[in-house]
Amino acid sequence: MTVDTLPYTTFFKAKKGIMSWLFTLDHKRVALLYLYSIMTFFLVGASLGILMRLELFHPGKDIVEPHTYNQIFTLHGVIMIFLFIIPSIPAVFGNFFLPLLLGTDDVAFPKLNLFSFWLYVIGALFALGTLVLGDGPADTGWTFYAPYSVRTGTNVTMSVVAAFVLGFSSILTGLNFIVTIHRLRTPGMGFNQMPLFAWSLYATSWIQLLATPVIGITLLMIVAERVFGVGLFDPSIGGDPVLYQHMFWIYSHPAVYIMALPAMGIVSEIIPTFAQRTIFGYKAIAYSSMAIAFIGYFVWGHHMFTSGMSGPAAYIFSILTFLVAIPTSIKVFNWLATLYKGSINIETPLLFALAFIFNFLIGGLTGLVNGALAADIHLHDTYFVVGHFHYVMFGGTGFAFFGALHYWFPKIWGKMYNKKVANTAFATLLIGFNILYFPMIILGIMGMPRRYYDYLPEFTFWNQISTVGSWITVSSLIVLIVNLFVAANKGKKAPDNPWDGITLEWQTKSPPPLENFDKMPKIPEGGPYNYPNAKSSS
Amino acid sequence: MSDKENIHISSYKEHVSTWLALILLTFMTVFVSVFGAELRTLSVATAMIIATVKATAVGYYFMHLKYDPKIYKIMMATVLGLFVFFMLMITLDYITR
């Protein structure tokens, strides 16, 4: 019997009982706690999205009243942004795989990690509490724009407190990752020997750490205005609503990169594995993550071109916005160059990664249209923006999230899913997704405003196509999730390295033991994408 | 980090001098807000500059940034730079509307 086949205790079996999960300090278990919570809220958010699409099937009332519709789209946004997309990849895959990719046994502050999770739960309870407490969920949209958020009778205060608490969870996770990356890399692993997912988490963590406090204080200012009548944003009591928009977007635009950068990191891990070659342009991809994070701080004003902001400020923000496209396109070029002449093995994770590139390009290019001052005057606050945003968030981050779930599934659970079902779910999801969101881009160009309960008859056709797309999308998601759920419980045992992965996490057993590695990992010559696999040793 | 870098004991003189400087700057903030209220934007800008100087002094002397490696100073300077950019762009928007 070789060392590799010796029996060992997986992190699943290292400790037993519900309390060993709820108060675990193991980064892998914390990651799974996040995964189960995040997936639950994703399904709640998706259900609210379906309700919106059903309501918009015909002009006029279909299933809910206008006020309820406003509350549904607000709760959909709050749940999907703060409870799903922002924490999704960092909290789940970052927590699980960052220590594995760095060759260490845990994050720098395990107790802080657990505290972050419980803050997430508390924040989620506040968000869902608006359903049953006070005058119901906020009806402001997830942006909580003043002065309406100051004046509405709905439970804005509780929604805002939810976002505030969730922000703290995000800050602490970012802090934990930064210290982990600086302090716990395995000996011999410099910054330029780190896997690209770790680089993307590093860039993301800086945004979480530096930008999130701004939204925290801004949201507290909303509460101060609602509760104490302090004139900050409401012009009727001496405030300035444009100041709110500045402060909100100083966080919320960099937050887009909290959502997108880890997804790019996932793609940078999947592509070399399934192209069976080292990544092309390692440093260019690594440093472009930092460049995106850095430039992302300077572009918030492009959300405000029609807010009454001054012309000179708008010009500057427009120019800066176009700069973000450069590091993003550097990444896309290097991913494609990695695939070029690679020994490509088409599996479900690679399909998700390729779909990410396709969807993200549409999302990115429509973003540039929004960043152009003249075009934005026509498109601002139309369905074009909703389409663009969902192409980036769901088509980009969502697809990367599900790609990562399929990629690392055998490492996490030590089992393999049904690949045919997974590929079918992927194909229908990609089709359903495009049928759902591309009509929104067309509707926006036609002039249909976002967040409207009713619409003119000429918008009916594309709205109905979009709603049909939502049915295909949700059906695909159900198949995808059930397939993975069944595999986690009854799937066939997977080998330690089923994809012939060439990165560090595939060097340990599946599922990993509690301490991740039996012995201190060594860095191979040729960088972090050159670890041996079955092919290289045969 | 070597042991040599870990050991740094600040003198009482340095601590007391920093504390006195912070007290003085606090009085300056109050003075500007009371007697320079009619200056409006300028008085706010002055208060912000004084607050930044105070925060830098706390970070540099009380939080021992002066003993830390250069990378931490660069990180702090970057954060400060971002804050300055936020303030500049918002101010630019206001004065050019």
* Complete DSSP assignment for A4-71: GGS---BTTTSS-SHHHHHT---HHHHHHHHHHHHHHHHHHHHHHHHHHHHHTTSSS-SSS-HHHHHH
Quote the pLDDT of residue B6. Answer: 62
The answer to whether the peptide bond before residue A235 is cis (omega within 30 degrees of 0) is no
B83 and chain A in contact, CB less than 8 A:
no
Question: Containing domain of residue B34, as a range?
Answer: 10-95
How many Å lie between the alpha carbon of B74 and the closest alpha carbon of chain A?
Answer: 14
Average pLDDT, integer, range B51-66:
92
Per residue in A357-405, pLDDT (tens digit) is 999 999 999 999 999 999 999 999 999 999 999 999 999 999 999 999 9
| A301 vs B contacts (CB less than 8 Å) | 89, 93
Contact across the interface for B89 and A297, Cβ inside 8 Å = no
Nearest-10 crossing angle of helices A241-275, A311-339: 10
Residue A505's nearest CA partner among A533, A463, A475 is A533
Task: Say what the pLDDT of residue B3 is.
Answer: 47
Cβ contact, residue pair B90, A243, below 8 Å: yes
Helices A27-55 & A460-490, crossing angle to 10 degrees? 150
For residue A1, what pLDDT is reported? Answer: 36
Task: List, for residues B10-57, the tens digit of each pLDDT value.
Answer: 889 999 999 999 999 999 999 888 887 777 778 888 888 999 999 999
| Burial annotation A341-365 (CB, 10 A radius, 16+ → b, else e) | ebeeeebbbbbbbbbbbebbbbbbe
DSSP A185: P
B82 in contact with A, Cβ within 8 Å: yes
Angle between helices A241-275 and A399-413 (to 10 degrees): 50
Judged by CB atoms closer than 8 Å, whether chains meet at B82 and A297 is answered as yes
What 3 state SS string does A501-538 have?
A: CCCHHHHCCCCCECCCCCCCCCCCCCCCCCCCCHHHHC
Is A175 in the B-facing interface, judged by CB distances under 8 Å?
Answer: no
Tell if the CB–CB gap between A298 and B85 is shorter than 8 Å: yes
Exposure of B95 in the CB half-sphere (CA atoms within 13 A): 9
Q: By the CB < 8 Å criterion, does A301 face chain B?
A: yes
Alpha helices of chain B — where are they, by DSSP H?
A: 3-6, 12-35, 41-57, 70-95
Q: Which of A250, A299, A319 to mutate to test the interface with B (most CBs of B within 10 A)?
A: A250
C-alpha to C-alpha distances, A447 to A454, A456, A463, nearest whole angstrom = 13, 10, 13
Record the tokens describing residue A498, joined without a space.
């089923």
Peptide bond into A7 cis (omega under 30): no
Q: b or e along A403-432 (b: 16 or more beta carbons within 10 Å of the residue's beta carbon)?
A: bbbbbbbbbbbbbbbeeebbebbbebbbeb
In a domain, B5, yes or no: no
Chain A residues in contact with B97 by the CB 8 A cut-off are 308-310
Q: Which of A301, A308, A311 sits opposite B89 (nearest CB)?
A: A301
The complex scores an ipTM of 0.85
B86 interfacial to chain A (CB closer than 8 Å): yes
What pLDDT score was predicted for residue B21? 96
Q: Which residues of B touch A313 (CB under 8 A)?
A: 89, 92-93, 96
Closest residue, chain A, to B92 (C-alpha): A313
- Within a domain: residue B59? yes
Query: Chain B window 50-79: which residues touch A at a Cβ cutoff of 8 Å?
Result: 79
SS3 A382: strand
CB pair distance less than 8 Å for A313 and B79: no
A118 to chain B nearest CA, in Å?
Answer: 28
How far, in Å, CA of A181 to CA of A93, rounded?
15
Mutate: best of B72, B93, B94, partner A, most A CBs <10 A: B93
Put simply, whether A243 touches B (Cβ < 8 Å) is yes
**Residue from the list B79, B90, B97 with its beta carbon closest to the beta carbon of A246:** B90
CB–CB contact A210 B82 (8 Å):
yes
Residue A115: how many other CB atoms lie within 10 Å: 16
- Tokens 């033991």, located at residue: A513
A291 contacts on B by Cβ (under 8 Å): none
The partner residue sitting opposite A310, judged by closest CB among B79, B82, B97, is B97
CA nearest to A300 within chain B: B86
Quick check: B28 and B53 in contact, CB under 8 A? no
B96 touches chain A (CB under 8 A): yes
Partner-chain contact B90 A309, CB within 8 Å: no
Domain for residue B19, yes or no?
Answer: yes
Q: Is residue B3 part of a domain?
A: no
Q: What is the pLDDT of residue A323?
A: 93
Q: Is residue B39 part of a domain?
A: yes
Q: What Cα–Cα distance (Å) separates residue A139 from each residue in A86, A167, A236, A384, A493?
A: 21, 21, 21, 21, 48
Low-confidence residues in chain A, pLDDT < 70: 1-6, 537-538
Q: How many domains does chain B have?
A: 1
* In-domain check, residue B2: no
Question: Is pLDDT at B1 greater than 60 in this prediction?
Answer: no
Q: Nearest chain B residue to A295 by CA: give it.
A: B82
Of A78, A113, A75, the closest CA to residue A92 belongs to A113
Residue B4, domain member (yes or no): no
Q: Which domains does chain A have, with CATH numbers?
A: 3-537 (1.20.210.10)
CB A70 within 8 A of CB A139: yes
Which of A202, A248, A310 has the highest number of chain B CBs within 10 A, making it the mutation to test binding with B?
A310
**pLDDT reported for residue B38:** 77
Q: What angle (nearest 5°) sits at the alpha carbon of residue A214, between those of residues A210 and A219?
A: 145
Q: Look at residues A316, A327, A322 and name the one whose alpha carbon lies nearest to residue A261.
A: A327
Inside any domain, residue B58: yes
Between positions 207 and 226 of A, the ones with CB within 8 A of B are 210, 214
